[in-house]
Structure 1
């Protein structure tokens, strides 16, 4: 018997409904490679052939969307019977001198291009000519197919511990996915619609209890930061489809030394550094608000979720970044305490709460609402929900090889939203922390002006806590 078809979870599908030409919902990354380690030497054709060999049995790379007639329910995944690697892996070269400026300009352009939903939702552009002898892979995957953790796991199909070793994860040969007919899709959609009132009733009681407990926590001063209380900055408004990119490196050893010396966590230190960088950036521009900026921090619930399906297993918490505190040590103390309260508050919320409520996202209504929100520029009219998104994604502790080429750096780049035109994502990698910034170009034309402050903020914090 052929396997059952796989329907997108409500949360996965929501990233499709949230997408507009301006609000693009793909997750990107820049992989800086040393091609000299490739057995037999580097060539684009060899790189493309290896990618093709390794993705062939991985469903996430070879499946595409199938809409339900009349958009009565969330789409389903089906095999792409015409999968062609040439439609997913492309080749480009940087103009001279092939440095940082040329790379981020090209990356920003690529990040601003929407994906073709008629094909599997991923692309890779192999960029040659970076710093003379390096190759960069610009990777793009739609958020409907991955979150931070699952995206890292997918890359494992293309990476190994040695240049000539097999990939970390080898996919088993898989059977074809059953292609459902329109009548079956409509029938399933009708059944799903009829059961939604019962499902909603089941969620109302625990949601009401959660609201009551949250109010009690807020009265005791033990709740996470509240949305709609963030100050407005130049990157909090309606976004366009243009993107800008910046990246930098920090020492994971330094972050851990600060963590040990202060009794905090790696995440506390990273968020403190982010607050320091934003403080410096906004102060230099004469835009520093008197109250702290607030970030949404995605949190993986993969280990605690009881839901089997779906690519995205995430929740989120709100936290203030201490941008109103000039002293980095005082900012770290504040951050540690705020994060402790936010984590306790978050743990009191069901790991599947966001996924459960996302099941009620109506495909047609949700999309119309997003377009109306953007067209009326409502992000500039109501109080700011949050200033930006900051993600901290654990990466490999040892060097990896991407199809034989050693990965020298891996810069993650997350999506931006109306009302929050900047995304900061950090990933640990072989003793470093790679910082990637994606922004709406009109909101932040040159993210390097912000990302350059991350290493400086870390050095300042280290000097004040650990010493030179």
Structure 2
């Protein structure tokens, strides 16, 4: 197993170091039916399943001045007790208290001196239910890998099959000056080694081939993606400085309803999800008395670029698209059509492939200048991206933990760099859940957004059925 973090994995650490208000952890909240298990039984279950997963017992080791990429090293003092926590909600254990707990836990940074994950048992939910909150640093896994890590805790043995996603602090100090020098010497030797130089040459030679295969469209895609990163969105309260505290809530819709809309209009699940988000953000802007223009809401849409051969890796395998959501359009069906057309255009420009090619080549370049470039870039206020919306396919069949049925799985995505709203979309059985993260001080109306997303899907469903009845 490669002990070095990939360039993209390390980028999440660099970003977190550059933004004192960010905690770049992803998470999943499982709502579970039945009696809560005892702490010893739960501990044994996690010890047997989760702690054996890649890097679950490893700490991140960094080199002074970012002279080389961070790496994983085994924690010699690994103690499961540092990672398993147990709390109880105050009576009556309603959802608002649960969501508040999730927001507080996820806003707190993980301890870099220990493996970068936590698992919380939450007791006291209404209706004889309990919950498990799994928290993992984004440098360990992307959304799809994170889902696989979560499934490893389940009773069912899940076959390894390719998954295709829809488009959808202080570092560890060197103990002495000599160890600091030793780290630099080792890094220099590694950087100048023949094997390293061969990889650099291979990567350089791969660039023309990648561009040739992708064609002129890839060049255009890179140019367009770069211009989108540099182009500011119009002024809106959806973007701006953020604090350390978070809000969290969720919107829930039925997958069967979403698929019915997909069939009626010839679109994808991700199209419907982003159209519902568009409707919700438009209502939020109008409620705030703001203009919902064509260039108001540019959204970062992570795209999985995992191939079948990369499906088992836990490294981040994502690229991105930066579409404007059509919040200027009032009609929900026209919104859906615009979302579909814009995502189709972004795919045609091969922007995701360009992003993957860049990170693949960056993996073999010298890490220090790239790391410093990331740190420098993140210190300049960005005015382009207003929100992040990521879609991850979850289990299609019911899962169990220690014989108890998992009723729901709610996702969590972090926010940083002036993004005040993050939306994670996760499917589970016949449910599609939107997990909404907001900056505490600037998104007091986050639940209004979740309500509007649910109404957006129902409005599209009604329109689809009305159109079907009219055609008969």
Deviates more, 1:310-319 or 1:144-153: 310-319
Mapping of residues 49-88 of structure 1, within 5 Å: 49-68=44-63, 70-88=65-83
Q: 1:42 to 1:332 in 2, by over 3 A?
A: same
- State the alpha-carbon separation in 1 of the partners of residues 191 and 129 from structure 2: 50
Residue 226 of structure 1 corresponds to 228
CA distance in 1, matches of 2:373, 2:245: 22
8 Å CA contact 2:319, 2:352 repeated in 1: no
Point out the structure with the larger helix share.
2
Shift of 1:93: 1.1
Residue aligned with 1:96, SS? coil
CA distance in 1, matches of 2:208, 2:33: 55
**2:340 pairs with 1:345:** no
The answer for the alignment partner of 1:187 in structure 2 is 189
Q: Which residue of 1 aligns with 2:428?
A: 429
Q: 1:199 to 1:386 in 2, by over 3 A?
A: farther
Aligned 8 A contact 1:315 1:354 in 2: no
Match of 1:168 in 2: 158
Q: Give the drift of 1:361.
A: 7.6
Q: Would you say the 8 A contact 2:242–2:420 is kept in 1?
A: yes
Higher deviation after alignment, 303-312 or 435-444 = 303-312
Give secondary structure in 1 for the equivalent of 2:239.
coil
> 2:443 maps to what in 1?
444
**8 Å contact from structure 2 (residues 421, 439) kept in 1:** yes
So what's the TM-score if we normalise by structure 2?
Answer: 0.83
Is 1:356 aligned to 2:360, yes or no? Answer: yes
- Please report how far the alpha carbon of residue 91 of structure 1 lies from its aligned counterpart in structure 2 after TM superposition: 0.6
Greater alpha carbon shift after TM alignment, 78-87 vs 55-64: 55-64
Q: Post-superposition shift, 1:87?
A: 0.4
* Structure 1 residue 378 corresponds to structure 2 residue 381: yes
Whether the 8 Å CA contact 1:224–1:318 is kept in 2: the answer is no
In structure 2, the residue matched to 1:114 is 109
Secondary structure in structure 2 of the residue aligned to 1:426 = strand
In the alignment, the residues of structure 2 paired with residue 405 and residue 136 of structure 1 have an alpha-carbon distance, to the nearest angstrom, of 11
Matched, 1:10 2:12: no
The residue number in structure 2 matching 1:268 is 271
- Given that 2:218 and 2:351 are in contact with CA atoms closer than 8 Å, whether structure 1 keeps it comes out as no
Tell me the equivalent position of 2:166.
none
Name the CA shift for 1:372/1:341 in 2 (closer, same or farther; >3 Å). closer
Say if 1:244 and 1:446, in contact at 8 Å, map to a contact too.
no
Return the offset for 1:116: 0.7
- 1:159 Cα offset (Å): 1.0
1:153 aligns with 148
Structure 1 residue 190 displacement after superposition = 4.3
Residue matched to 1:174: none
1:404 deviation in Å?
3.0
State the alpha-carbon separation in 2 of the partners of residues 125 and 459 from structure 1. 34
Q: Where in structure 2 are there 5+ consecutive unaligned residues?
A: 161-178
Native 8 Å contact 1:90 1:124 kept in 2 = yes
Distance 2:253 2:392 in 1: 14
1:281-329: per-residue Cα shift (whole Å, max 9, x none)?
2211212422252211111111178799760111111222211111011
C-alpha displacement at 1:120, in angstroms? 1.0
Q: Secondary structure at the match of 2:134?
A: strand
1:277 and 2:280 aligned: yes
Conserved 8 A contact 1:147-1:313:
yes
Mapped partners of 1:168, 1:82: distance in 2: 31
| Count of residues in correspondence between the two structures | 439
CA deviation vs aligned residue, 1:392-413 (integer Å, no higher than 9, x gap): 1101111111343321111111
Q: 1:276 to 1:90 in 2, by over 3 A?
A: same
1:107, distance to aligned residue in structure 2 (A): 1.2
Distance 2:352 2:60 in 1: 35
Q: Partner residue of 2:390?
A: 391
Name the residue aligned to 2:165.
none
Matches within 5 A, 1:443-462: 443-462=442-461
| Higher mean C-alpha deviation, range 74-83 or range 304-313 | 304-313
Superposed, 1:34-53 pairs within 5 Å as 34-36=33-35, 42-53=37-48
8 Å Cα contact 1:305/1:352 also seen in 2: no
Taking structure 1 as the reference length, the TM-score comes to 0.84
Query: What is the alpha-carbon distance in structure 2 between the residues aligned to residue 83 and residue 107 of structure 1?
Result: 25
Say whether the 8 Å CA contact 1:306–1:352 is kept in structure 2.
no
The Cα offsets for residues 53-96 of structure 1, whole Å up to 9 and x where unpaired, read as 21243223122212235531111112223221110010111122
Change (3 A) 1:364 1:352: closer
Closer, same or farther: CA 206–121 of 1 in aligned 2, 3 Å? same
Superposition deviation, residue 339 in structure 1: 1.6
Q: Secondary structure at the match of 2:443?
A: coil
Maintained 8 Å contact 2:221/2:351:
no
The within-5 A match list for 1:273-422 is 273-292=276-295, 293-303=297-307, 311-346=315-350, 349-350=353-354, 352-356=356-360, 358-359=362-363, 360=365, 362-363=367-368, 366=371, 370=375, 373-374=378-379, 378-379=381-382, 384-422=383-421
